[in-house]
Amino acid sequence: MSKKPNILFTDDEEMLRTVMAKELARMGYNVACCGNGYDTLKTLQERDFDVLIVDMNMPVMNGIEVLKRVKELEPATEVIILTGQGTIETAVQAIKSGAYDYLTKPCRLSELDALLQKALEKRQLSRENAHLRRLVKVNQKIPTIVGNSTAMNAVYKIIDKVAPADSTVLIQGESGTGKELVAQMIHQRSARALKPFVVVNCATLQETILESELFGHVKGAFTGALESRIGLCEAADGGTLFLDEIGELTVNTQAKLLRVVQSGEVRRVGDNKVITVDTRIIAATHKNLEQEVKNGRFREDLYFRLNVITLLLPPLRERHDDIPLLIDHFLKTYCNNKKKKTFLPNSTECMMHYAWPGNVRELENTIERLVVLSEEDSISIEDLPANIRGTSSIPNSGKESELSLAKVEKDYILKILHEKQMNKTLAAETLGISLKTLYNKLKTYAIDV
């Protein structure tokens, strides 16, 4: 969705307001008009504006007084002062009070339009920088997605098709399969590549904190809200918002997110004002959202909005041909300036026979440990972790070879838990999965520890 800039024009001359409303709309702006300072401040509290154009000489409350109040309410909103007295003193007073610039009446429309464009650029930069310094990844180098298997080539073809579009994308796959990397690739190949790529992990934040992070809040909205702050939906304006583990959102937060997905409308916590953003949504989950909808844990309307294009990432156990490529890639990554290490053929084969419940993330963690701990340049089977060495021989035919992957995974998780004296945090690190994912697997397999 494209977003027209919102302009508020304030002047006590009714005829001038009528003319400017028409001309500014013709130039492509959404325009609202006010006849005095009090109405301006009231309107600003009800709606979000990018730039205010305010007449200097108005009865009761002049332009400078309006400017000062605006900067208290919405510091990021840019203000242009119009004055019929183009003196140096007026200009200095306006700039010192926080005005972006000033124009002398009557002004040329082309001059006003050029000034508005510059003010809008500054407004956008302020909006992004206010939050991006903490939580937003902007134009970072994307880690390479490694894989040349049939399954991954199918993924690449879908990425090539969906990236140029503005459609919402739902990425599904187990933990550690590279969902965020795929989202980054989609963003970088889109027309939004030079705009923010904002990441939020819905599983790591409490509901109240998550709402503030997503939608922002106004000063005094809750204890500790000492200043107003824009949310990640606003920070991603013009770019992409990646919602990782969206299946962890509460139903209440899902309802608020639905409004953003449907119409681009955001309402900060504690505010009645609606802000419109142009943000592409890419969501990811390891859960079966269709089943979550049936179980009443996920809103059906939000699911259909997110499920415009679905991209399913294969687990590593279904793309064993990519394991040698991944090994080579991570060896180069973690050796850096250190002496180069290589895998002996039998240790590579051993790695290919392992189930990798933590997927690529687990493999990466394993390679990093081997680079640090192995004393020889050639990594042998003896250097591999015990759980991987245990899979080095190809199973014989018979019942043992017919064990389901679920059974193998359950047995392996139990094995690691016993090795780590039932310390779930250490077990999750060894498995290469998050603690939350481990708890989910314990619940799935009815493991009571």
CATH number of the domain residue 245 falls in: 3.40.50.300
Residue 195 shares a structural domain with residue 271:
yes
CATH number of the CATH domain containing 125: 3.40.50.2300
pLDDT band, very low/low/confident/very high, at 400 (cuts 50, 70, 90): very low
Tell me if 433 sits within 8 A of 357, measured CB to CB: yes
Query: Is the per-residue pLDDT at 392 higher than 60?
Result: no
What angle in degrees, to the nearest 10, is found between the helix axes of 63-73 and 88-96?
20
**Statement: residue 245 has pLDDT above 60:** yes
Q: Give residue 212's pLDDT band: very low, low, confident or very high (50, 70, 90).
A: confident
Nearest to 147 by CA among 137, 139, 159, 138: 159
Q: What is the pTM of this model?
A: 0.64
242, 124: one domain: no
Of 110, 130, 150, the domain-final residue: 130
Same domain, 44 and 91: yes
Are 33 and 146 in a shared domain?
no
Contacts of 99 by beta carbon, 8 Å cutoff, 6+ apart: 67, 79, 80, 81
pLDDT exceeds cutoff 70 at 399: no
CA separation (Å) from 69 to 98, 122, 329, 372?
10, 20, 57, 59
Kindly indicate the confidence band of residue 53, based on its pLDDT and cuts at 50, 70 and 90. very high
Domain that holds residue 437: 395-449
Q: Is 362 exposed, middle or buried (0-12, 13-18, 19+ CB in 10 A)?
A: buried
Is the distance from CB of 17 to CB of 55 less than 8 angstroms?
no
Higher pLDDT, 42 or 2: 42
pLDDT band at 128 (very low <50, low <70, confident <90, very high): low
5 three-class SS = coil
Structural tokens at position 210: 């998550």
> Is 382 part of a structural domain of the chain?
no
> Side-chain half-sphere of 429: how many Cα atoms within 13 Å?
9
Question: For residue range 377-387, what is the model confidence (pLDDT) as tens digits?
Answer: 899 888 898 88
In a domain, 345, yes or no: no
- Which positions ≥6 away from 218 have C-beta within 8 Å? 225, 228, 268, 269, 270, 271
Decide: helix, strand or coil at residue 336. Answer: coil
Same domain? For 103 and 31 the reply is: yes
Helix (H, G, I), strand (E, B) or coil at 338: coil
Chain position carrying tokens 């990021």: 76
- pLDDT per residue as tens digits for the range 76-121: 789 999 887 666 677 778 888 889 988 888 888 999 999 999 888 8
Of the residues 79, 114, 130, the one at which a domain ends: 130
Which residue in 449, 369, 382, 372 sits closest to 416, CA to CA? 449
Question: Does the pLDDT of residue 148 top 60, yes or no?
Answer: yes
Q: What would the pLDDT profile of 247-277 be if each residue is shown by its tens digit?
A: 999 888 899 899 999 989 998 888 888 888 9
CA atoms within 13 A on the CB side of 84: 5
Instruction: Determine the pLDDT at residue 393.
Output: 44
* Domain boundary residue, one of 97, 130, 163: 130
Q: How many domains does the chain have?
A: 3
Residues 80 and 366: their CA atoms lie apart, in Å, by 58
